[in-house]
Amino acid sequence: MDIKLQEVLIEQGQRARQAARILATTSTALKDKALMDMADALVENSAEILAANDLDLKNGEAMGLTAALLERLMLNEQRIKDMAQGLREIAALPDPVGEVLGMTRRPNGLEVGRIRTPIGVVGIIYESRPNVTADAAALCLKSGNAIILRGGEEALNSNRVIARVIATTAEKCGLPAGAIQLVDSEDKEAAIFLMKMSDYLDVLIPRGGKGLKSAVVENARVPYIMTGMGNCHVYVDQFADLQKAQQIVFNAKVQRPSVCNAAETLLVHSEIALDFLPLMLEELHEAGAEIRGCPRTMKIVGDIKEAAEEDWDEEYLDLILAVKIVDELEEAIDHINLHGTGHSEAIVSESYSNVRRFMAAVDAAAVYANASTRFTDGNVFGFGAEMGISTQKLHARGPMGLPELTTTKFIIYGDGHIR
């Protein structure tokens, strides 16, 4: 990587570290004012943001991005308003910093407690969706963290404008320079270098697909929280209400197929497959979906592609759905636990015992009964936005809001105590 770019990244790390020390003790009132002003600034600068996004979309088409990826990349006035509203909702949430998690008096009189504190400097590497720039910056600011953002090259123009608008606004409000910074480079080596900046970053949050995940596992020297990959399933049980099931499956696959909480595989119990699959797959076909089915599915609905073994592990992020018929609830659970990414899984069933078994046995961050996987989202869960959807199990799991961007420290009060 170019030496000058390394120097720029190190300088950004140094500024972020300095800003984090100030943000750790910044008042809630000042942070909230900055967030509200940042929201207004996004709307006020919509024209410039949309012009930059239009350039990204044209470049994306030239790069051969799929329609689904272009949809993830695309901004419009409503999406910018939604970004701004997300910032306002974060401002309205309780500040986690300083929250007392417990205080006890020991027999010797010492008072021992724990409080929430900011993590420090957060790095995030993400792909395609420029709204993440605003969401991630806002969540970090409210939780007292500095942030270094590294978006994908396909969204660089959009990210550049969004980051400049919100960072400039935050500084005007009195927050430290360096609180919000963007890695302004298309060089893929910049992301690799960021993964190794252990002197400056306290945590790295990669938000993307298999390629990014592999790069992080191979290169990161910074502790990381893996997010984003979603090979999500809907299982339609033999005791399902088929009308509910049809609505849920359609929504989970079609409503926005380019996102990580969209369903990629449909599992159907053999006892209701003949009644359910023809109508379901016809509706999906009419919506433009490509179906890849197991041999048993192909016997019921013949005009589809046969699923290859790798389809069960694929996160399509597109209007493609793998379909498999299973004979038992346990077979569905085993399939999900073998092929899923630990993101979001759903069962459609009117059987209380089957729902309870599924909810207990499926290993995922979010498990649904009779609802679409599309609800796994920080905003929907009441967090204003999210840093990503963690598929790990330590510290954070599922949509990451403000509490997940904090750590804790012990506070001990004495009165001349010695040991």
**Res 384 pLDDT > 90:** no
Q: Which three-class secondary structure string do you get for the chain?
A: CCHHHHHHHHHHHHHHHHHHHHHCCCCHHHHHHHHHHHHHHHHHCHHHHHHHHHHHHHHHHHHCCCHHHHHHHCCCHHHHHHHHHHHHHHHHCCCCCCCEEEEEECCCCCEEEEEEEECCEEEEEECCCCHHHHHHHHHHHHCCCEEEEECCHHHHHHHHHHHHHHHHHHHHCCCCCCCEEECCCCCHHHHHHHHCCCCCCCEEEEECCHHHHHHHHHHCCCCECCECCCCEEEEECCCCCHHHHHHHHHHHHHCCCCCCCCEEEEEEEHHHHHHHHHHHHHHHHHCCCEEEECHHHHHHCCCCEECCHHHHHCCCCCCEEEEEEECCHHHHHHHHHHHCCCCEEEEECCCHHHHHHHHHHCCCCEEEECCCHHHCCCCCCCCCCCCCEECCCCCCCEECCCHHHEEEEEEEECCCCCC
- Residue 179 and residue 167 in contact, taking contact as beta carbons nearer than 8 Å: yes
**Res 210 pLDDT > 90:** no
Q: Which residue has the tokens 């400049």?
A: 164
Cα 375 vs. chain centroid, distance in angstroms?
12
- Residue 181 and residue 153 in contact, taking contact as beta carbons nearer than 8 Å: no
* pLDDT tens per residue, range 117-131: 999 999 999 988 899
Angle between helices 131-142 and 156-172 (to 10 degrees): 30
For residue 252, give every residue at least 6 positions away whose Cβ sits within 8 Å of its Cβ, in sequence order, or none.
232, 234, 262, 263, 346, 372, 373, 374
Average pLDDT over residues 318-344: 97
**Res 411 pLDDT > 80:** yes
Residue range 3-227+387-413, CATH number: 3.40.605.10
Picking from 141, 135, 101, the residue whose alpha carbon sits closest to that of residue 121 is 141
Provide the pLDDT confidence category of residue 28 given band limits of 50, 70 and 90.
Answer: very high
For residue 166, give every residue at least 6 positions away whose Cβ sits within 8 Å of its Cβ, in sequence order, or none.
38, 41, 42, 133, 134, 137, 138, 180
Predicted local distance difference test score (pLDDT) of residue 416: 96
* pLDDT tens per residue, range 265-300: 999 999 999 999 999 999 999 999 999 999 999 999
Predicted local distance difference test score (pLDDT) of residue 66: 86
* pLDDT tens per residue, range 291-315: 999 999 999 998 899 999 999 999 9
Residue range 232-375, CATH number: 3.40.309.10
Provide the pLDDT confidence category of residue 208 given band limits of 50, 70 and 90.
Answer: confident
Question: What are the residue ranges spanned by the domains of the chain?
Answer: 3-227+387-413, 232-375
Give the Cα separation of 72 and 127 in Å (integer): 9
Give the Cα separation of 14 and 334 in Å (integer): 47
**Res 58 pLDDT > 80:** yes
Predicted local distance difference test score (pLDDT) of residue 117: 98
Q: What is the mean pLDDT of the chain?
A: 96
Average pLDDT over residues 371-389: 92
Predicted local distance difference test score (pLDDT) of residue 67: 86
Provide the pLDDT confidence category of residue 337 given band limits of 50, 70 and 90.
Answer: very high
Average pLDDT over residues 216-229: 92
